[in-house]
Amino acid sequence: GVSKPCVHSLSTLLDTPTLSVHLVDVKSETTAHLLLHSLCWSSSSCKVLLHFVNQSGMKTSVSAMEGESLLEVVINKNLQIDGFGACEGTLACSTCHLIFEDGVYEKMEPMADEEMDMLDLAYGLTKLSRLGCQVTVERWMDGMTVRVPQEVKDRREKPEAEI
């Protein structure tokens, strides 16, 4: 049946009190898709549905504006990704590192040397890595999933004696 998209409120960003972001429940993705596409008719720039998987593996879906950078999407939608975008999109760090799907990665605009220079310092660098501040949302990206590199799970505690 047609279920209404659920509204989630995210926990507070640092000192900004809850600005509720209306996210679409993962289960009702298809419905959301339909809703988003109908939005395209009324607004000049198109909304694009994106799925983010955060450090702990949790998936969140948001509707982004065509032309926004992925860093802007994360900030504007108040996605809870710790420490994301420390240099505020000026290509001076690698904290907005994102991992893309095979097939999507190849279709993106090629990387500038400057982006690769910073990306080379990123944790968990993969062949499908980009910096979120350098990737612009385009219509064809509708439905894509991007991943934040997972927290390293196997950095286990050393027993006291080993210090």
Partner 1 sequence: LQVVMQLFLTVCWLLPYSLATCGLFSRRLSSASGPGPKVCIVGGGPAGFYTAQHLLKARDDMVVDVYERLPVPFGLVRFGVAPDHPEVKNVINTFTQTAQHERCYFYGNVNVGTDVSVEELRKAYHAVVLSYGAEANRSMRVSGEGLAGVFSARDFVGWYNGLPSNKELQPHLNCETVVILGQGNVALDVARILLSPLDLLKKTDITQHALDTLAASRVRRVLIVGRRGPLQIACTIKEVREMINLPDTAADMLPADFESISEALKDLPRPRKRLTELMMKTVKTESGQHKANKSWGFRFLRSPLEVLPGPDGKRVAGIRLAVNKLEGSGEDAKAVPTGQTEDLECGMVISSIGYKSLPIDPCVPFDPRSAIVPNNMGRVKDTAGLYCSGWVKRGPTGVIATTMNDSFDTARMLLKDMDSGMLNLSVNKPGGQEITALLKERGVRAVSFPEWEKINLEEVRRGTAVGKPREKFLDVKDMLAVAWS
Footprint of partner 1 on this chain (CB under 8 A)?
7, 9, 12-15, 17-20, 22, 82-83, 86-88, 90-95, 113-114, 116-118, 120-121, 123, 125, 155, 157-160, 163
Q: Which is nearer to partner 1, 13 or 53 (CB)?
A: 13
What are the b/e assignments for 13-38, b being 16+ CB within 10 Å? eeeeeeeebebbbeebbebbbebbee
CA atoms within a 13 Å half-sphere pointing along the CA-CB vector of 28? 16
Q: Which is nearer to partner 1, 88 or 139 (CB)?
A: 88
- Per the structure block, which two tokens stand in for 148? 């934040």
Residue 162 Cβ vs partner 1, minimum distance, rounded to whole Å: 8
Residue 64 Cβ vs partner 1, minimum distance, rounded to whole Å: 19
Residue 74 Cβ vs partner 1, minimum distance, rounded to whole Å: 14
Residue 130 Cβ vs partner 1, minimum distance, rounded to whole Å: 14
How far CA 6 is from CA of 21, 27, 53, 85, 133, in Å, comes to: 11, 9, 18, 28, 29
